[in-house]
Structure 1
Amino acid sequence: MGVVVSLDEGKRGQASIKPLIELTAHDMSRVNQLILSKAGSDVEMIPEVANHLISSGGKRLRPMLTLATARMFDYSGDGHVKLATSVEFMHTATLLHDDVVDESGLRRGKKTARTIWGNQASVLVGDFLLGQAFRMMVEVGSIDALDILSTAASVIAEGEVMQLVAAKNLETTEDEYLAVIRAKTAALFSAAAEVGPVIASATRSERAALRSYGTNLGLAFQLIDDALDYGGNASDLGKNVGDDFREGKVTLPVILCYRRGTAQERRFWKKSIEDGVSDDGALEEARGLMSRYGAISDTITRARHFGEIARDALAPLKETPQKSALLEVIDFCIDRVS
């Protein structure tokens, strides 16, 4: 079987996350200090487990969204730093819980916390970080911001359960899958982008614009991750290529390929996803089938669609350096497959 569509064809796009990093650099240094402070505990295992994941090299895109969108509306307090740290802790807690549910061994090339300290410690430290996140939200004193982030936490948990129910279910529809990632991934992007404008006293329509931006950026981001699992590299993905396949995850490329294939090919997917026969040979066959049926290219097309919705959401907002950086983030997320 041949390799998937050419994720390697052509040169990587010119879009960069650098403008966002530069605009938020000063505030992110404060976030990083607060992360270290709030991840501390007299219980020795808590900072060990938390720092293992926090220091693993992620780009921290979500907290940067909160910082940038607050500054976009001339916010001058320090609440955005606490909310951005809350967002990062929510994300970190989700990763700790995800790795337990998925029984993952590696994340960004490092052993997962669960493989070092065990499942119980990973779940409990995740809960600790969620608790710290909510304490910081309360300190900010914005009921609206607390409502947005607490609602996101609930929706994310629902998304995790939805994914668990759909695990290894090859009859999952595209709409059902999009509902899962809208809850599991896009909800936190949406909340991260909206809480900044909230504490900056932005108008209802401005808040709605950033909420839509975050939601659709999150959907695009996750769909590109789905595509990268079958044809990217570990540095772009933040985990090993093929992990979704080996863990039996039913992602959009699998859904499309399963529905478009022959009866014999569907038996292959059942054997690989449902029965766990997912060695390197099976992965190569899966990649070949995806190439045959255009499953990766169509997943990328859908990601671009959500990226355009995110772009349109920002269109009515005033021109600022932050808006320009947020627009470039859309292209950066999608260009990871270039």
Structure 2
Amino acid sequence: MSPTIYIIIVSSLATGTIITMTSHHWLMAWIGLEMNTLSIIPIISTMHHPRSTEAATKYFLTQAAASAMILFSSTVNAWQTGTWDITQMTTTPSHILLTAALAMKLGLAPMHFWLPEVLQGSTLTTSLIIVTWQKLAPMSLIFLTINSLSTTVLMTMGLLSSIVGGWGGLNQTQTRKIMAYSSIAHLGWMATVSSIMTSIMIMNLVIYLILTTAMFLTLAQTKSKTIQDATMTWTSSPTMTCVMMMLLLSLGGLPPLTGFLPKWLILKELTAQSLTTVAAIMAMSALLSLFFYLRLAYSTTLTLTPSTTQTKLKWRLKPNTSAFFLSPLSTASILLLPLAPLMLQ
């Protein structure tokens, strides 16, 4: 793909998200989502490989169906109430359709099946865009319509997503699929707390974006597509290997790392709302996710695979890609817990 076309596609991708985030009319929000979807399709299918074509097709069909459901729900609402305002979603059928459509857009369980498959057929950079930037528009719609969405449905989907995200990642060996199930689990935590306190949901989203971006940049830097590839990370950069272990533990939500902050505040808020059972199930599901993070950390950092003399000297060679953003993002992913008092005010 030529640089000019690539710049046009990426700018269209950004514009679509910004249009959705700043719109008050349902048609404008829908146009932004469609621009977003149509821009990411060429980026997914740049590899000219059957897997990438399959991923692009699956992504297009899922997102087109979700966009059609959003348009249908807003049309039903406009028919009943006479307004296209995003915040005036008052009819019950529209609520149900909108919640299902946004869950499909995000990849919440039980409509999560497309996400691991699409990520597996994409490059690490494209996967990073799908699990970070592509979540902003649907999350902004959830934020704008949270007073209209069903609390019970959102909480059920959040619980299911956190369990499925943990359970599904247990038997994966591909790092992209592991990160896909990690994304599903994190989105489950956000969906659970969204109807209780939107400020914690936004804080969780920001921390999720920082953690996931740092992790994907590390995987791209070391070209780790499978767990077996990740075992040789130390030959490229011993420092990055240690940082990767800390990132994985932070993603798992262990104190005193950054990833502990959203889980801590969400569990605190759930128990404050007398949702102790939900909080207990969420905490137990976090153990499932922690297991496959620990497995990846163990095989990456805590074991050394048999290797030849040549591969041991790999760290002497300069890497091809720049790690400019990796340092600040990795630092933020590990050391942001002291900001907790600001969140608790």
TM-score range with shorter-chain normalisation? 0.3 to 0.5
| TM-score (normalizing by structure 2) | 0.32
Structure (1 or 2) with the greater helix fraction: 2
